Structure 1
Amino acid sequence: MYSLWYPETEKDFFEKSLELTTKEQLFYKTEDNRYLAYWPKKYSGKKSTLQSRNAFIGNYTEKMVVNLLQNFAKSNNLFVLQGVICEELGLTSRSPADVAFCKTNNTVQKAENIKLIIEVKMSVVWNWEYINGELILVGDYSSHQGTPGLLRSDSMLKAIGKAINIRVSGNASSDIPIVILGNTPIQKSYIKKVDHLKKAGIVQGFWSLNPKPKENETLEMTPKKGFIRMNAYEDFVSYLNELISHDFFFFSSMKSKKELGQIIEICNQEDDFEEKGHKFLELIGD
């Protein structure tokens, strides 16, 4: 059974993390001594910031994605790895790829061996109370003051910035798809932006692994599929398979209509579509 992101997944995160650290590192403490994952909507007491949970949820979600995709990777003769470094792509030890499909089982990779990059932007979605050693589900993200996952503008901007950094690192990144993986919907203000980013080839999609992040229906897909909510594991691997089973090539340029016309004219002299495409990419980069 392959599970996406559900309340049970989140509960497992807290249970495993509590084996490694204290409740104070994972929960906010209210004035009346309640330990909560987020400040409730109506809470107006004294507040503090909680940065310590970020490292735990980041590591947990990356490992969760790796485990979720192990069999899929094997079926495609690939390795799915956490924390992949590739200097050619600007992926350093300080800022590696969260998860990547690779041809070899090494975290330090050559660009030619990387088939797909996944940036994981997942966080705690629901509100939980930790009381007497038990985890109680308090409510979905509409019940608390937090802004989890892809709903956070800074998370979106960091993901976009990293994707752009990979793309502008050089031609080595041009045939590697990039997916941003979250566990929430996106804000309405990002609907056109994610579709444009997909159309421009910067990223191949912002995907959520959370089929039901709150009781009311949430965004399932943007018009151009820049954002997609995965409702089942089969949906997830189907979209992934589409990315790794085709040869893609990112290109970006600004040329006059005359230059473009000349390039198209030259390309039309080639014998077939693939040769025309190859010639176009060659000329557009000059």
Structure 2
Amino acid sequence: MADKKLWTKYQEIDFFTKSLEVASPEQLFYTTEDKKYYAYWPKKYKGVKTTLQSRNAFIGAYTEKWSLELLKDIARELNVYAVRNVVCEELELTKGSPADVAICKTDSLIQKPEDIIAIFEVKMSIVWNWELLKTNSDYSLKCLGDYQTHQGNPGLLRSDSMLKAIGKSISVRISSLNSARIPIIILGNTPVTKSYYTKVDNLKNYGIIQGFWSLNPSPLDNNGENIKSTKIEGFLRFDSFSEFRNNLLILLKEEQMFFAGMRTKHELGRFVEIANKEETYERKAEKLLSLMRD
């Protein structure tokens, strides 16, 4: 399989170019008093600032479709499907809040839990700062710098994006026992902040989220240093499509189960003793999980 490109400046140019065919510059860029258009307010900008909400729907749709295309080829290797906006009422994935993308055994938008192989939440946005330049009737884009040069907090650097992803993942996890075997992955295009390093590792360790994965190999210009992974890989940055593909295939081919509970040491000891009577490791695990849930 050809090594596809991950997130680069090209995707952002492509996003703005295509979006400008259906949206005005004012819907996609912050506008200064002297009619300059910026993707984000530059750090040195001291003028009047306005808010920009209209771009969210455009970039959300673009990044979900982009992620879908990456996942389609990987799903095809397993003879399954990558599907966008998946609804599964039992897992509280509703029409109002579907899975951004899921890998499923069927290509239907409406899925049963047993047919969902993995769930992906896409938390990506514009990473670099851009100025939109207009020459006669044509537009061009000038890159002004990476996320350290502007006032925005894109992608996984934004706390409310992280909290929304965590909240939705917990909702899926506790909605039904049928969610226990389904990996949940958050796809981003930035690092996470240092304040989230321990949190993302804990979320992976507890089995709630299997990873916050950045698909942007170089979010900083001039080879700027940015984190490759946290201690137990709750966050991972992928530097090539093949690296992403290999990690995802390993995750999808492993049979894992989420479990959680608050039990006394006496109960846990008794459960372990009972489960240990089973013949294989797999049967021991199944018995222990069954006892934990009774």
Are the counterparts in 2 of residues 163 and 202 from structure 1 also a CA contact under 8 Å?
yes
- Segments ≥4 residues shifted beyond 6 Å: none
Any idea what SS the aligned residue of 2:202 has? helix
Q: Distance in 1 between matches of 2:285 and 2:72?
A: 34
| C-alpha distance after superposition, 1:133-168 (max 9, x if no partner) | 101111100010000000011000000000000001
CA drift at 1:20: 1.2
TM-score (norm. length: structure 1) = 0.99
Q: Distance in 2 between matches of 1:158 and 1:87?
A: 19
Aligned partner of 1:244 in structure 2 is 252
- Is 1:149 the counterpart of 2:155 in the alignment? yes
1:276 aligned to 270, 280, 284, which one?
284
1:77 aligned to 79, 88, 98, which one?
79
| C-alpha distance after superposition, 1:170-204 (max 9, x if no partner) | 10101100000100000000000000000000000
Q: Distance in 1 between matches of 2:185 and 2:50?
A: 33
What stretches of structure 1 of length at least 5 have no aligned partner? Answer: none
Aligned partner of 1:48 in structure 2 is 50
- Is 1:200 the counterpart of 2:170 in the alignment? no
Q: Distance in 2 between matches of 1:152 and 1:219?
A: 16
Aligned partner of 2:264 in structure 1 is 256
Percent sequence identity over aligned pairs: 55
* Residue identity matched to 1:85: V
1:108 aligned to 75, 88, 110, which one?
110
Aligned partner of 2:167 in structure 1 is 161
1:211 aligned to 196, 207, 217, which one?
217
Are the counterparts in 2 of residues 3 and 68 from structure 1 also a CA contact under 8 Å?
no
| C-alpha distance after superposition, 1:232-280 (max 9, x if no partner) | 0011111110111111111110101111000000011111111101100
Are the counterparts in 2 of residues 4 and 233 from structure 1 also a CA contact under 8 Å?
yes
* Residue identity matched to 2:7: W
Q: Distance in 2 between matches of 1:251 and 1:147?
A: 34
RMSD: 0.7
CA drift at 1:32: 2.1
* Residue identity matched to 2:30: Y
| C-alpha distance after superposition, 1:198-249 (max 9, x if no partner) | 0000000000001010121101100000000011001111111011111111
Aligned partner of 1:130 in structure 2 is 132
What stretches of structure 2 of length at least 5 have no aligned partner? Answer: none
Aligned partner of 2:21 in structure 1 is 19
CA drift at 1:106: 0.3
Count of residues paired in the alignment: 286
| C-alpha distance after superposition, 1:24-77 (max 9, x if no partner) | 100001122110100000101001000000000000000001111211111111
TM-score (norm. length: structure 2) = 0.96
Higher alpha-carbon deviation: 188-197 or 71-80: 71-80
